[in-house]
Amino acid sequence: MNCVCFSHSYFQAFRGTVKPYGAFNANDDANALQKAMKGLGTDEDTIMKLLTARSNVQRQQIKAAYKTLFGKDLVDHLKSELGGKFESLIVGLMTAPIAYDAELLRHAIKGAGTDEKVLIEILASRTPDQVKEIIATYKNMYDHDLEHDVTGDTGGHFRRMLVILLQGTIESDAKVESDIKLFCMFQALFAAGEQKFGTDEEQFITILGNRSAAHLQRVFAAYMKLSGFEIEESIQRETSGSLEKILLAVVKCARSVPAYFAECLYHSMKGAGTDDETLIRIMVTRSEVDMLDIRKEFRRMFATSLHAMIKGDTAGDYRKCLLLLSMSFYVTDMLLLTVHSFCETVAGNLHFCFVNILLGTDEDTIMKLLTARSNVQRQQIKAAYKTLFGKDLVDHLKSELGGKFESLIVGLMTAPIAYDAELLRHAIKGAGTDEKVLIEILASRTPDQVKEIIATYKNMYDHDLEHDVTGDTGGHFRRMLVILLQVRPHLIIKCARSVPAYFAECLYHSMKGAGTDDETLIRIMVTRSEVDMLDIRKEFRRMFATSLHAMIKGDTSGDYRKCLLLLCGGED
């Protein structure tokens, strides 16, 4: 099998959804764009697919080539052909990042009223070096001093915070202890009723503005421990308006820039109407920086995907282009290539490839593919992936996914006996013993499977499973577990009667009532999907007068639900 290998550092460095195009030719792209805008009508699909598949550096080269070949400014030509939000998005993509920030700041200051949201978002999230570049570019573009323009258009402590951020000074020798002491002093002042910022309290915003993220994270953690409050709580309680917004933005960016932008994107689409300016601004500026991390945080924080929210909140070419920017074909492409190569090598074992599945979201592709393969085939894909790309597929999936959906996919990617061994280890070594897991696994597995689990547990953890179980349990319960581990012909009565009925009951109780026992639901759906799921479904309907499919559908949501339903296999 011919393959191209990639270094591990390449994967670590790349966190955007847009990456440089490998077979790039500026003249070819310029010709393709000119053709897309020539004659009657405009080929918007060609324009968006080409430009979202090129890095910003490559777009600047296309712009130069277009000018040389056709004597016309590409951006002006695009503006004449496009319109509305789609035009704004494309023009943003065609602008160099620092120039785009400078332009956004200029419009925020010089428009009708000051757009404080833009000032806050850009200055709170950019690095000191980026801020210096923005200041220089702003001066070059508008022959104005950015700090002068900002201070002339804002006031009070809000203005002071903006100036601190514009000065981009990070004090590397600041003492965490003294900052914590100062923060706690402010908390005491606020608690006593002196609820407004004065001259002394300016030190508070100075600390937030000129300390490193790592330093601030330590200060926040210690502040919480000493005062009993998260710093965000104190800010929200004791400040308001623009000052509150900028302080919260600085704190959130110190904690996690991707989480900050995930929240901004969510609120740009939540509720009636869409804040298209914010949506465009963030999608343009973060697509090559950390969009993969933003997507992961978005799912973790809001239990839905960024892709799904964009799809439901926008329309037309504008939506198509936003979706192209939100999607990383990167991981999917590598999976496609892995299985394509694998199919060629093991012809007949796999009858169709990832290539035959229509790309929706990355998550859709991943779940449809992996739930359509046996565990043996998943292990072969994992090995092929390592050979092709020099990277562990499970680690890569973890970096892309999040929450319960991630747990479900990672479970599917683990060999069954190793998964049982891992579950038992966590059940024993976690905070308290998870007796439910011990009972479920040891009571339902065959004697041969238990022998394999014991051997695999020893191999994975260099521990004796029986010794670990007996050391963590007691009484007759421990005695029963030992009997099951010693593979004697005894099983708990429910499993002796019917293993599928036992698991149907476990699944029912994992979803019945308030809240869902997701760990049990994931564990059973992963371990039984290739064993007896059809029988479990039949028993579920017989015992509870409803289908497993219907109960999963009503009790879960998002990609997690979609994947569980694929494993369930259909309505009964």
* Phi and psi at residue 144, to the nearest 5°: -135, 155
Same domain, 513 and 559: yes
Same domain, 30 and 50: yes
Tokens representing 271 are: 């509720």
Same domain, 503 and 560: yes
Same domain, 518 and 451: no
Domain boundary among 326, 351, 386: 326
Local confidence pLDDT in tens for the 572 residues of the chain = 344 333 333 334 458 888 888 889 999 999 999 999 997 789 999 999 999 999 999 999 999 999 999 999 999 999 999 999 999 999 999 999 999 999 999 999 997 788 999 999 999 999 999 999 999 999 999 999 999 999 998 998 899 999 999 998 877 666 666 766 666 655 654 554 444 555 455 777 888 888 888 888 988 888 888 778 888 988 888 788 999 999 999 999 999 999 999 999 999 999 888 999 999 999 999 999 999 899 989 988 998 889 889 999 999 999 999 998 987 544 555 555 555 555 444 323 322 333 333 233 357 778 888 898 889 989 988 888 787 667 788 988 887 787 898 899 999 999 999 999 999 999 888 667 788 888 888 888 888 898 999 999 999 999 999 888 888 788 877 877 887 788 654 444 456 678 899 999 999 999 998 889 999 999 999 999 998 999 999 999 999 999 999 999 999 998 899 989 999 987 76
C-alpha 135/C-alpha 60 separation (Å) is 21
Name the pTM for this structure: 0.64
Q: What angle do CA 90, 95, 97 make, to 5 degrees?
A: 120
CA proximity to 319, closest of 42, 84, 562, 121 = 84
Same domain, 438 and 460: yes
Is position 83 within any domain? yes
Same domain, 190 and 240: yes
Is position 8 within any domain? no
Is position 391 within any domain? yes
Same domain, 310 and 338: no
Is position 76 within any domain? yes
Is position 1 within any domain? no
Domain boundary among 215, 232, 255: 255
CA proximity to 444, closest of 469, 408, 416, 470 = 416
Is position 99 within any domain? no
Is position 10 within any domain? no
Helix axes 393-400, 362-371, angle to 10 degrees: 140
Tokens representing 500 are: 């599928």
C-alpha 162/C-alpha 155 separation (Å) is 10
> What amino acid occupies position 40?
L
Is position 304 within any domain? yes
Q: Per the structure, how many domains does the chain have?
A: 7
Same domain, 450 and 485: yes
Give one word for 31, left, alpha or beta, with left for phi > 0 and alpha for psi -120 to 50: alpha
Same domain, 80 and 142: no
Domain boundary among 93, 128, 144: 93
Q: Which residues form the domain of 289?
A: 258-326
Contacts 24+ apart (CB under 8 A), 23-31: 24/54, 24/58, 24/61, 26/58, 26/61, 26/62, 26/64, 26/65, 27/65, 27/69, 29/54, 29/58, 29/62, 29/65, 30/62, 30/65, 30/66, 30/69, 30/70, 30/74, 31/69
Sign of the CA dihedral 357, 359, 365, 368? negative
Same domain, 339 and 296: no
C-alpha 177/C-alpha 223 separation (Å) is 10
Same domain, 442 and 507: no
Same domain, 146 and 191: no
Q: Which CATH number characterizes residue 285's domain?
A: 1.10.220.10
